Amino acid sequence: MAAAPLAVRHIDVLDVSISVVTLADRRPQGSSSPIEWTFQSLLEALLYGNRYGRSTGAMYALLKRTAADGPCALPLRKSSINDGLVTEAEFEQLRLVLHTSVRSFTLVPLTLVEAAVIVYGQNEKSEALVRALGLVRPADWDDEGEDAEEDEVGEEGDPCLWRLC
35-49 residue pLDDT tens: 999 999 999 999 998
Global pTM value: 0.82
Q: Where are the domains positioned within the chain?
A: 7-140
CB atoms within 10 A of CB 85: 21
Mean pLDDT confidence for 57-63 = 92
Q: What pLDDT score was predicted for residue 92? A: 94
pLDDT at 34 over 50: yes
- Tell me the average pLDDT across 129-139: 94
What lies within 8 Å, CB to CB, of 88 at 6+ separation is 81
Entry field: residues in the chain: 165
CA distance 64 to 58: 10
Per-residue pLDDT averaged across 59-84, rounded?
92
